[in-house]
Amino acid sequence: MAIRIDGKAISAQIREEIKEQTAAFVAERGYTPGLAVVIVGEDPASQVYVRNKALACEQVGFYSQVHRLPAETTQAELNALVDELNANQQIHGILVQLPLPKHLDETEVLLRIDPKKDVDAFHPYNVGKIMIGDYDFLPCTPAGVMALLERSGIDPAGKNCVVIGRSNIVGKPMAMLLLHANGTVTVCHSRTKNLAEVTREADILVVAIGRADFVGADMVKPGAVVIDVGMNRRADGKLTGDVNFAEVEPIASAITPVPGGVGPMTITMLLQNTLTAAKK
Ligand code: NAP
């Protein structure tokens, strides 16, 4: 039976460390790390994420601002707010909650954020730095996965690492971080042939596709470490991952549950990035 990697506990421990580092930082530098979160429109899931981010800031002693803009906000108005936050000395991190309403251009907004304040690490400048391996910020979800592995004593060096999913926010940076950690990395996607054959070669399998219970026992090598990034809502409203936990837990050596695995780490890594930005 696999060890359950407890993302809630690891996340709480890291937030405690960030809180201590923040207190020391404020005492030494005389200013507080500040995060601005911008949300446009009324998407209920986004509203919850934004509330949680503001709360997390408060818990570790950061200054935070939440800018709630109406759904009909124009590109010019949003750009103007980003410019204002770029210039604001109290703000070290800027996060624009995605998705934006359809009439707004996400790329234009992301390009406008000062890369030094880009705590989501979505700006092409930071994406390029991650590729090179000389980075200030890592995208929060893949960084969270790396922290879970590290704090569980799992070293990707020399291991076969398979990532299912190649999105810009999870799959691609995930593959890059595992590569930097000396894993031998394979990236799979919807056009991959014989997917189960590839995934059965994985010592570390990271799944980020967005399909409930997609990865069953037939896709996992006995003894593998299985990291489930997926967050899917079942018809009954319950949250479930991309991995069939009941099937895979008995054969894996370690596994992240959903909820309580990767999920709690994402905001924690955002806090970490904001502290890094303030230190810079
Ligand atoms: P995405 O942009 O929709 O990307 C999904 C990826 O999965 C794509 O690369 C797609 O391949 C691949 N895929 C889809 N169906 C597949 C199949 N049958 N076989 C193999 N590959 C398949 O999703 P995302 O933003 O990366 O998110 C993935 C999951 O992680 C979602 O459940 C999301 O909710 C969750 N998530 C969780 C967190 C967190 O904090 N825990 C953060 C972000 C995302 P193609 O490229 O070929 O289409």
| Amino acid identity at 176 | M
| Amino acid identity at 168 | N
Question: Look-up: residue for tokens 């994402």?
Answer: 266
Q: For residue 49, what are its two tokens? A: 């994420």
Nearest to 224 by CA among 246, 244, 206: 206
Q: For residue 246, what are its two tokens? A: 């009941």
- Measured in angstroms, how far is the CA atom of residue 226 from the centroid of ligand 1? 16
- Measured in angstroms, how far is the CA atom of residue 229 from the centroid of ligand 1? 8
Q: Whose CA is nearest to atom 5 of ligand 1?
A: 209
How high is the pLDDT of residue 45? 87
- Of all residues in the chain, the percent with pLDDT exceeding 90 is 96
Catalytically active residues are 53, 97, 120
Question: Using a 6 Å cutoff on CB, does residue 183 contact ligand 1?
Answer: no
Average pLDDT, the chain: 97
DSSP 3-state of 162: strand
- Measured in angstroms, how far is the CA atom of residue 172 from the centroid of ligand 1? 11
Distance CA 240, CA 214 (A): 11
pLDDT tens digit sequence for 113-125? 999 999 999 999 9
pLDDT tens digit sequence for 9-53? 999 999 999 999 999 999 999 999 999 999 999 998 899 999 999
Contact, 212 vs 242, CB < 8 A? yes
pLDDT tens digit sequence for 156-198? 999 999 999 999 999 999 999 999 999 999 999 999 999 999 9
Question: Look-up: residue for tokens 């000396």?
Answer: 182
* Domains of the chain (ranges, CATH numbers): 30-114 (3.40.50.10860), 140-263 (3.40.50.720)
Distance CA 137, CA 127 (A): 9
Nearest to 47 by CA among 26, 64, 68: 68
